Structure 1
Amino acid sequence: MLNRNNLYFIRRKVTNHIMLSLTFLSVVLTVLPLLLIFYYTVTKGLTSLNLDFFIAMPKPVGEAGGGMANAIVGTLILIGIGGAIGLPVGIMSGTYLAEFGNNKFGNVVRFLADVLSGIPSIVVGVVAYTIVVLPMHHFSAFAGGVSLAILMIPTITRTTEEMIRLVPHSYREAGLALGIPKWKTSLVIILRSAWKGIATGVLLAFARAAGETAPLLFTALGNRFWSTKIFQPIASLTVYIYDYAKSPFTEWNDQAWTASLILIALISLISLLFKFLTRSKY
């Protein structure tokens, strides 16, 4: 008969194997959806991937070929407008919260930023439609950029705050000892030390903005023609994916898959770019 110590050892060993199996299963369940997304996007997206897709305009129903050059450029313009608005606001807000926000006002701003990060994007689109599109009396790339900036700001703000708080306090003391004002110490010394972590938050914000559809339906709307004017409706990959994926035409369905592949490649390219820019020299 097994004594108590042997039974205890066997029970521990069985429990250990069970927990290892559960953790491995969790990893598989985490990675599997991503692998399925890549598999279907690549296999179906390659069917319409060619040079015309990048340089040609969309063609009417029934005509073979065509591309989404206007949507690719439009997506880059929308992300650029959103970044031009959201980056400085988010970084400056996060800097304020980390360096000067240990008060009631700072707590209120943190709470509002957390709430804003959880608001559905379609609600942001409706708000942007009300405050930008209606006063301007037309849809525009600028309105789309504003809606994307609203979505980007809370992520950048909270990431910037957390990264700045990780900078050693001795850096601040060194700056003050040299007679540098606190605001200049924060902007020149602290931000420089935390910029790699901040870049990660910026990447997450850009990735979210690049994949949004709902707010653009209420703001940028879309455009079947070539347009780079920021105060006119503009095409975007996500809106084209939305329109083409629900279309009954096979050609448009194939192009929706290709647009999805291009969008994933664009986000991956942004990620690699930030990895390259923030790589360590040592």
Structure 2
Amino acid sequence: MAAVQSSRPLAARLQATRKTRSGIIMVLCIVAAALGLIALALILGALLWSGFSSLSPAVFTQMTPPPGSSGGLLNAIFGSLVMTSFGVLLGAPLGLFAGTYMAEYGHGSKLTLVVRFINDILLSAPSIVIGLFVYEIAVVPLGHFSALAGSLALALLVVPVVVRTTEDMLNLVPGPLREAASALGLPRWLVIRFVAYKAARAGLITGLLLAVARVSGETAPLLFTALNNQFWSTDLNKPMASLPVVIFQFAMSPYKEWQQLAWVGALLITLAVLALSITARILGAQRTSQ
């Protein structure tokens, strides 16, 4: 009886200690979250204030100006849209097919394990490494920078994102759906096309949007591949302007006009990435509800 009574104060002390530690950890987590939110609010506030104050119709109608002059970002916006579009067109099908093989045909095989390992490395690889790689295989042999080389670099950044999301989304499709379609006599590729892809459609689109959001703000790969162009250019075999590179160059310049355009360019990219992220979240929520 005495042993039981002596153990109660010990248990009470241990419980009080755990509650104290839990409270301290909770306070630290709240403080860390608050600091992160404050920093994010300050960054977004500065971006919105400086970006919207310099936003004008000339941004969408005029080319990037020479030093000390006013102008716009038309050629840079066009170049970003072109290279991002071609990068997605090159990388998304490759990532889709690779992810489909890993989920549908090579599930658990050694090749799948190797591809998944390499894909994980590419997901975490710095984008500047991809830019240097494309510089060596596409820029140096041709002897000049080009929008095609920039698109190739962006495509290599798109592939691992699409591969991962495709494999994950197809693995979430219930097996009985495939079995029911196979029981009707459909070949394997038709089962994948009309059953698996349809069931995972929202997730596949979400992965594609996330890949676009990732590459739309990349600067380092384009510095080594597409470089930049102050003028309007539609030749994919020549250097082409892009918003990330223009922001990088203009933000470091001593000219006030260039710095204002850099703020506007950063605002445009932020709004575009925000729109893509919100769309991806909405599609992800729809897939979860279904």
TM-score, normalised relative to structure 1: 0.91
Query: Is the 2:153–2:222 contact (alpha carbons within 8 Å) kept by the matching residues of 1?
Result: yes
Counterpart amino acid of residue 79 in structure 1: T
| Within-5 A mapping of 1:91-240 | 91-101=96-106, 102-240=108-246
Could you say if the C-alpha distance between residues 14 and 262 of structure 1 is closer, same or farther in structure 2, counting changes exceeding 3 Å? same
- Structure 1 unmatched runs, 5+: none
| Within-5 A mapping of 1:5-24 | 7=13, 10-24=16-30
Q: Distance in 1 between matches of 2:165 and 2:226?
A: 28
Query: Is the 1:241–1:259 contact (alpha carbons within 8 Å) kept by the matching residues of 2?
Result: yes
State the shift of 1:15 in Å.
3.3
Q: After superposition, what is the alpha-carbon deviation per residue over 1:125-161, rounded to whole angstroms, capped at 9, x for unaligned? A: 1111222223333222111111000011011101110
RMSD over aligned CA atoms reads: 2.2
State the shift of 1:278 in Å.
6.5
Is 1:73 paired with 2:78?
yes
State the shift of 1:10 in Å.
4.2
Could you say if the C-alpha distance between residues 66 and 198 of structure 1 is closer, same or farther in structure 2, counting changes exceeding 3 Å? same
Partner SS, residue 221 of structure 1: coil
Q: Distance in 2 between matches of 1:5 and 1:133?
A: 70
State the shift of 1:6 in Å.
5.6
Could you say if the C-alpha distance between residues 94 and 33 of structure 1 is closer, same or farther in structure 2, counting changes exceeding 3 Å? farther
Partner SS, residue 200 of structure 2: helix
State the shift of 1:249 in Å.
1.5
Q: After superposition, what is the alpha-carbon deviation per residue over 1:136-189, rounded to whole angstroms, capped at 9, x for unaligned? A: 332221111110000110111011101111111111111111111112212221
TM-score, normalised relative to structure 2: 0.88
State the shift of 1:86 in Å.
0.9
Q: Distance in 2 between matches of 1:126 and 1:3?
A: 65
Is 1:34 paired with 2:22?
no
Counterpart amino acid of residue 232 in structure 1: K
Q: After superposition, what is the alpha-carbon deviation per residue over 1:179-200, rounded to whole angstroms, capped at 9, x for unaligned? A: 1111221222111111222222
Q: Tell me the equivalent position of 2:61.
A: 55
Q: After superposition, what is the alpha-carbon deviation per residue over 1:240-271, rounded to whole angstroms, capped at 9, x for unaligned? A: 01111111122211211111111101212333
Q: Distance in 2 between matches of 1:51 and 1:246?
A: 24
